[in-house]
Amino acid sequence: MTQAHPAESGPPADFDAIIVGAGFAGLYMLHSLRTMGLSVRVYEQGGGVGGTWYWNRYPGARCDSESVYYMFSDHLSEEILGEWNWSERYAAQPEILRYLEFVTDKMDLRRNIQFNAKVISAVYDSERNSWDLRLEDGSTSSARFLVTAVGCLSFTNTPEFPGIETFGGESYHTGAWPHEGVDFTGQRVAVIGTGATAVQAIPEIAKQAAHVWVFQRTPNYDMPGRNRPLAPDYAAQVKAAYKDLWQKARESGFGLPYQVAERSAVDYSPEERERIFEAAWAKGGFYMGLETFSDFLVNKESNDTVSEFVRGKIREVVKDPAVGELLAPKDHPFFTKRPPLENGYYQTFNRDNVTLLDVRGVPIEEITPRGVRTGGREYEVDAIVFATGFDAMTGALFGMGITGRDGLKLQDKWEDGPRTYLGLTTRGFPNLFVITGPQSPSVLSNMPVVIEQNVEWIAGVIDYMRTHGLNVAEPAQDAEDRWVEHHNEVAAATLLLGTDSWWVGANIPGKPRTLYPYVGGVGTFRVICHEVAEKGYEGLVLARHER
Ligand code: N01
């Protein structure tokens, strides 16, 4: 694990830019702004770099994007791209963390990062055109530009189960896992949740534990990951073709360079469909969603075909038909919640030491000193694993106490849902830039690809301002209104709003229901941002403040 490192000495307070977060986004933003000659300070809450990959150390944690595409492109460094080799098709958390540490050291980024530095307030001062930050330790600093790189899934959500504080055993949230690891050998374990995280963790926990009870509210359409060691010749092929592949990923819908077939499942016979689905299923990964048919998200009839295909696959693997039926989702269409990738998840339910419990029909009543009570029965356990997700997209931003012009708090402005221009800026908050913010493609993509685009666009605005003698950027009201309208229109054309998921904020009581990520596509978003830049950052009001 990386230890806290003192940031380089310099002016105690004033920086050109402050970046919050040292994951993929914060590291690339730091590199970009530093290359432009700006004085930059990164505040990172964790004790090391990595963001998501620093915190999510639960057993089985790995990336669902193929590792060869889950990295920085040559835009950061051709050398790093050439030097780094992944060992598996989907890299596990320790390897991704090692990669980010490698990048940090190679690019000498550590000297501008202050670790264990939690930002608790960030207030814009119009008089000074400055963002004033306060950290949890009471220290303060300020900067002209504030860039948030806090990740979309970093603010953990533990539901307020009655009695939760009375539990006498150990409890863990997957998103804040102990660094020393947890040995479940011989233990009785409750896992609450069956999202992408639980799907990775449960098979590993079941290998150790005496018994695992899985508390499932909603089953998912888990697709086989088919993880395997990465053949060196495959990695070499990708590297040889990386410029083309990365460009393809940048122009794609979801940030992956796959062959997207522009066709509808309803135009094919059941036999032809089956053949296409089987081929994608055999390949494993997101090919099922991305390379089979292109209208799953907008055409329910088409979606029904893939949904039934996946249900059939689940029923085939799980030996107990009643358990198989419970694991087969019927309450929402395929891909309207993030489909997890599984590596042995369904087979795990064939083990004698794993029991699936349905807490949809009979919700969890309470956590007791000895375990979890549902359906009038108490399940006594030694440990509870909360795989209950995150207050996604906005939780971490609100947690920073961001306050814009005239005392406007970000959570007040977004009381009825986010309002942004391109997901990157929001009116009333001059010089605040949000990487992978709500209303940008963010989580509906392979993250490094959109992070790279967001960072380069933000660096572009700042560079443009500097070369034009300007120092304030804020979206115009009409530009923001039009983006929100466009975002909502695109969202409404899909099936996504009809399903309860964290994509629409449904997992957090009281959170406004709206689609948080932009579903118009990574490539489309990129073109829009590029055109905005070409027109002198049209939609942003750029001005000069004399101080
Ligand atoms: O969180 P989730 P996650 N009673 O919100 C259940 C990314 N990710 O950490 O579906 C009972 O998806 C909840 O039930 P329901 C990926 O984008 C990426 O698993 O709301 N159950 C659900 O089953 C993913 O989507 C990778 O009905 C309750 C679970 O808890 C995102 O992270 C790997 C409950 C939460 O699932 C979040 O995944 C892993 C309650 N009161 C994850 N409240 C990579 O590949 C919640 N639940 C990089």
State how far the Cα of 54 lies from the Cα of 113, in Å rounded to an integer.
Answer: 15
> What pLDDT is attached to residue 3?
36
> What pLDDT is attached to residue 361?
87
Percent of the chain whose predicted confidence (pLDDT) is above 90: 95
Specify the ligand 1 atom closest to the Cα of 61. Answer: 33
6 pLDDT more than 70: no
Strands (E), 126-265: 130-135, 140-148, 170-173, 188-192, 211-216, 223-224
**What does the pLDDT average to over 166-188?**
98
4 pLDDT more than 60: no
> What pLDDT is attached to residue 372?
98
**What does the pLDDT average to over 172-199?**
98
CA of 453 to the centre of ligand 1 (A): 27
- The DSSP bridge pattern shows strands 371-374 and 364-367 to be antiparallel
**What does the pLDDT average to over 483-498?**
98
Ligand 1, atom 11, residue with closest C-alpha: 217
Q: Convert the pLDDT of each residue in 24-81 to its tens digit.
A: 999 999 999 999 999 999 999 999 999 999 999 999 999 999 999 999 999 999 999 9
Token pair recorded at residue 256: 């992956």
**What does the pLDDT average to over 291-311?**
97
Least Cα distance to 58 among 338, 386, 349 occurs for 386
Pocket test for ligand 1, best of 388, 436, 451, 501 (most atoms within 8 A of CB): 388
Q: Convert the pLDDT of each residue in 411-453 to its tens digit.
A: 999 999 999 999 999 999 999 999 999 999 999 999 999 999 9
CA of 386 to the centre of ligand 1 (A): 10
13 pLDDT more than 60: no
Angle, alpha carbons 308-310-316 (nearest 5°)? 105
128 pLDDT more than 50: yes
Percent of the chain whose predicted confidence (pLDDT) is above 70: 97
CA of 501 to the centre of ligand 1 (A): 9
State how far the Cα of 252 lies from the Cα of 291, in Å rounded to an integer.
Answer: 12
**What does the pLDDT average to over 186-215?**
98
Query: 520: Cβ–Cβ under 8 A, 6 or more apart, which residues?
Result: 441, 486, 487, 490, 528
What are the phi and psi torsion angles at 205 (to 5°)? -65, -40
State how far the Cα of 524 lies from the Cα of 537, in Å rounded to an integer.
Answer: 17
> What pLDDT is attached to residue 547?
66
> What pLDDT is attached to residue 225?
97
217 pLDDT more than 50: yes
CB atoms within 10 A of CB 456: 16
Are 2 and 101 a contacting pair, CB within 8 Å? yes
**Ligand 1-lining residues (CB < 6 angstroms):** 63-64, 153, 159, 174, 192-198, 200, 215, 217-218, 338, 359, 364, 387-390, 443, 502, 507
Whether the full predicted model's pTM is greater than 0.85, yes or no, is yes
Judged by DSSP in three states, 367 sits in strand
Q: Go through 74-90 and write b for each residue having 16 or more CB atoms within 10 A of its CB, e for each that does not.
A: ebbbeebbeebebeebb
Ligand 1, atom 5, residue with closest C-alpha: 389
State how far the Cα of 318 lies from the Cα of 138, in Å rounded to an integer.
Answer: 54
State how far the Cα of 439 lies from the Cα of 488, in Å rounded to an integer.
Answer: 9
Q: Grade residue 5 by pLDDT with cuts at 50, 70 and 90.
A: very low
CA of 393 to the centre of ligand 1 (A): 14
Q: Grade residue 342 by pLDDT with cuts at 50, 70 and 90.
A: very high
401 pLDDT more than 60: yes
Q: Convert the pLDDT of each residue in 233-274 to its tens digit.
A: 888 899 999 999 999 999 999 999 998 889 999 999 999 999
470 pLDDT more than 70: yes
Q: Convert the pLDDT of each residue in 347-382 to its tens digit.
A: 999 999 999 999 998 899 999 999 999 999 999 999
